Structure formats: C-alpha cells, structure tokens
Amino acid sequence: MKLKTVVFTLLLTVLIAYYVYLPLPDGIQEPWKLMMLDAGFRTTMHLASLMHWLGFYHYIWSIRHSTEGFEGMVKGMDSSDSDGGVMPGVKISDITFAGVPVRVYEPPAGGEGHLRRGVMYFHGGGWALGSGKKGSYDTINRMMSDELNAVVVSVEYRLYPEVHFPEPYLDCLNAAKHFLSMEVLARYAIDPERVAVSGDSAGGNLAAAVSQEISSDDTVSTKFSVQALIYPVLQALDFNTPSYLQNQYIPILYRTVMVRFWLQYLGADLSLQPQFMVNNHSSLKHSSITPELRARLDWTVLLQPKYKKSYKPVVVEKGSEGTVKEVPGLLDVRASPLLAGSEVLAKCPRAYILTCEYDVLRDDGLMYARRLQDAGVTVTSLHYEDGFHGCFSFIVWPLDFDVGRRAVRGYIEWLKNNL
C-alpha cells in the first residue's frame, strides 16, 4: 500500500512538473516563478475554453471571473485599502467622464495655488480583460498619484465580447476629451501644461491612438504633454516580426493569443487565425496595402541589427483574398497607430516607450519609437533586456518580479522628470 502511494505521488509530481516546466531563455530572471505564473494562466484558459465548449459561459467571462477572484486574494495579502477613500492620503472616486466609467485618484492637497500633474491611464488585457480598479493597476495608480502629486484617471472602457473596435477606442477618446476640458482641469487643479496619457499593452495601443487623435484635433485646445507607452501593441499586419517569432512561446503573451486578441478586437471571424499567423491577410495581392503603408512597419529598416538577428521578412505574394474588406479595421490607424503617417506623428507629444526583450510586442514598440523620432518627436526608449510581457503589472507579492519593480520605478521617475 505504501509502495502504491509512493508511486502515485511520484507520477503525480512528474506530471505536474511536466505541465509547469517551460524552457525559458537564460536572460529571464526568476524563471520558476514565471513558469508557475504561466501554468496558472494556462490552466485558467483551458478551463474557460472547456466551459465555453460545454455551453456554460463565454470563455472571456470565465477568465474574468477567475482572475478577479485571484486578484482579490492577492489584494487581501496586501496592506492597502482596496475599496477607496484614502491610502495613504490619496482620495478615490468612481465617477463617469462623458458617460464613461472612470476611477479618479487625487493626491493630498498641496497648498493654495499649487497646480498638480494629470495622468490618464488605460489598462491592458487584450481589449477583453482587466480593470484599472483592481490588482496591480490600482496599486500603481495610487503610487503615481501620491509620488507625482498627480490626479490619475483610470478609464474603464468597454471590453470584448460586449463590444468590438472602435467602441473601446471611442470610450477612451471621449473620456480624454472630457478630462482635457478647461472646466475639468480647473476642478481638479491640474496644470494644463502637465497632462499625460499612458497605458500598457492594449492600453498602450489606446493611449497611442488617442494621443494621435488629440494632437491632430484643432477643436481640442489643451493637448497631452507626454505619452507614456508600456509594451504597446501597435499593428496587426505582420505577425512574423523578429520578436513575434523569437518570443512566440514565451509567457505570458503567446503569439497565438495575441493574434486571437486582435481578431476579437476587430470583430473578425476567429477561423481567420491561421491566415493571420502566416501573414496571408497582408499579402502583396492586397492593393489597399500600398508600399508606402508597408514602409511604416518595415522592421528591416526600422529595427537595429541586434533585434533583427537572422530573421527574414515574411511577405506573401498572393495569400487570402478579401481579408482587408472583411476586416476593415486592419488598416484603421485608430486600431493600428503604427500605420499613421509621419505628418500625424510629428504632432504627437514627447514619448516614453518601454519594451521588453522577451515579448512578442517588442518590435512594435521599437518601430514606433523610431518612427516618432524620425518625425521629430523626442522619445525616451527604455528597453529591459530581462523583461517579459506583463512584467510591469507584477509588483505585488506573491506575483512580484524584480524586473517589474524596476520597470514601474523607472516609469514613475521618468514622469517625475518629464511631466
């Protein structure tokens, strides 16, 4: 009986180890912690897909429920007050801006006549997951408000599957215009010359797109002073950039998952995923994808040699027909800010762009930094050689990573010195 128990325990241990273990590059620090985190995410995804297949819930709703429960557990381990009020001295208000739900973080009063910074933040999550009110987003927003003496506005834009593009973008744009109005800035004692727009991943996409629109809109008198983008996702035409190929199996954002997020966001048929994976959707046969447009995301020109390595461009001659017509958002700069013309980029505010070596989105951020610089915009491009996608959000125990803490600290310090 004891022998059977030992054998069973040994087999179970081997199976768990096999499930958890994932070969990771030597450059990633704390690899076992990342493996455990990834195993948790994969398990959540598998269970959510099973529930969807059985007809119980949409798989995104299942993932939301699971992650919200975990975030609540982690928050319970943290010492901060999660339900608003004061922490420490930061006032929390859940209101709406132009009908869009937002959470406003106000720092302690700084004295008469002292104007404060303003930051509008869009959370990540593939346009389907996440909330600025929960988990590490709430923690980081509190930190920013307190340390920067800033009024931070976290936007709760609508998500997939409830809506598709352009609704999340429009929510963010409408909230931004409301925030930048002189009436609102005066109400919160914000200096109109010191207002930032920021976001990570899908939120970085929204921040870049909103920044472009606000910068070009002559009806908006107050503009964003800076844009701070954390590993932003910026284009959906090339899923075979060096970083997409190099990091396609690196957690926590796999290449297949990012392609699926894009299809969901653009309201496309998910059966198109294999076509997108091999760039059939952006083949040379599509006359609407002009050479000028392709040049705006030509990584062979825009990336430094150390990032290109020995990878070759994947350009398909014929590919699938009609994809651009089926998915018009593919070429919409509001969805893919990297496709904007240089005349648009030239009007954008100075930028901070954070990228991570082990991230499928690395090259999106690096190419955008290069294009902004070429357009005459001052850019601070900060690259974390040991970073992975999502690390910015992992700063709260037990999901804390050293690279995440360094990334958040560097981000806040840049805002302190540039906003």
**201 has catalytic annotation:** yes
**410 by DSSP, 3-state: which?**
helix
Residue 172 predicted with pLDDT over 80:
yes
Per annotation, catalytic residue among 138, 171, 200, 359: 359
Residue 107 predicted with pLDDT over 70:
yes
Query: Cβ of 98: how many Cβ atoms within 10 Å?
Result: 15
Residue 75 predicted with pLDDT over 60:
no
Residue position matching structure tokens 């760039």: 279
What's the rounded mean pLDDT across residues 123-132? 95
Segment among 20-34, 91-105, 332-346 with least mean pLDDT: 20-34
> Nearest-5° angle of CA 238, CA 239, CA 241?
80
Each residue's pLDDT tens digit, 240-291: 999 999 999 999 999 999 999 999 999 999 999 999 999 999 988 888 899 9
Phi, psi torsion values for 243, nearest 5 degrees: -70, -35
- Can you give the pLDDT at residue 11? 55
| H or E segment and range at residue 352 | strand 350-358
Residue 239 predicted with pLDDT over 90:
yes
Segment among 167-171, 174-178, 205-209, 317-321 with least mean pLDDT: 317-321
Query: Cβ of 350: how many Cβ atoms within 10 Å?
Result: 16
Residue 94 predicted with pLDDT over 90:
yes
- Can you give the pLDDT at residue 101? 98
| H or E segment and range at residue 5 | helix 2-20
- Can you give the pLDDT at residue 397? 81
- Can you give the pLDDT at residue 81? 42
* 400, amino acid identity: D
What's the rounded mean pLDDT across residues 16-27? 75
Residue position matching structure tokens 């920044």: 211
Cα(83)–Cα(47) distance, integer angstroms: 29
What's the rounded mean pLDDT across residues 346-360? 98
- Can you give the pLDDT at residue 44? 77
Question: Strands 226-230 and 350-358, how do they pair?
Answer: parallel
Residue 82 predicted with pLDDT over 60:
no
What distances in angstroms separate CA 244 from CA 193, 247, 315, 380, 383, one per listed residue?
37, 6, 15, 23, 16
- Can you give the pLDDT at residue 3? 65
Which of 162, 173, 168 shows the shortest CA–CA distance to 201?
168
Residue 77 predicted with pLDDT over 50:
no
- Can you give the pLDDT at residue 22? 81
Cα(214)–Cα(348) distance, integer angstroms: 9
What b/e sequence results for 9-28 when a residue is b if at least 16 CB atoms lie within 10 Å of its CB, and e otherwise? eeeeeeeeeeeeeeebeeeb
> What are the residue ranges of helices labelled H in 97-160?
135-148
| Extended strands (E) in 81-115 | 91-97, 100-106
Q: What is the DSSP letter of 143?
A: H
What's the rounded mean pLDDT across residues 353-359? 98
Pair of tokens at residue 213? 């629109």
Segment among 109-118, 192-201, 271-280, 327-336 with least mean pLDDT: 109-118
Q: Which residues pair with 91 in a beta bridge?
A: 106
Cα(190)–Cα(177) distance, integer angstroms: 15
- Can you give the pLDDT at residue 43? 81
Phi, psi torsion values for 7, nearest 5 degrees: -65, -45
**52 has catalytic annotation:** no
Segment among 60-74, 255-269, 388-402 with least mean pLDDT: 60-74
> The domain 29-419: what is its CATH number?
3.40.50.1820
Residue 16 predicted with pLDDT over 80:
no
Sign of CA dihedral 138, 140, 145, 146: positive
- Can you give the pLDDT at residue 98? 97
**Confidence tier at 76 by pLDDT (50, 70, 90):** very low
Pair of tokens at residue 349? 């505010």
What's the rounded mean pLDDT across residues 326-352? 96
Q: Which residues pair with 379 in a beta bridge?
A: 351
What's the rounded mean pLDDT across residues 46-57? 72
In the predicted model, what is the mean pLDDT of the chain? 89
Query: Cβ of 157: how many Cβ atoms within 10 Å?
Result: 24
Residue position matching structure tokens 């106000």: 106
- Can you give the pLDDT at residue 213? 98
Residue 407 predicted with pLDDT over 80:
yes
- Can you give the pLDDT at residue 74? 45
**359 has catalytic annotation:** yes
Segment among 97-111, 192-206, 368-382 with least mean pLDDT: 97-111
Contacts (Cβ under 8 Å, ≥6 apart) of 1: none
pTM: 0.92
- Can you give the pLDDT at residue 15? 56
Question: Strands 150-155 and 350-358, how do they pair?
Answer: unpaired
**Confidence tier at 73 by pLDDT (50, 70, 90):** very low
Is the CB of residue 146 less than 8 Å from the CB of residue 180?
no
Listed by start position, the domains of the chain span 29-419
Cα(372)–Cα(346) distance, integer angstroms: 7
Per annotation, catalytic residue among 201, 215, 225, 336: 201
Residue 52 predicted with pLDDT over 70:
no
| Extended strands (E) in 107-225 | 116-122, 150-155, 190-200
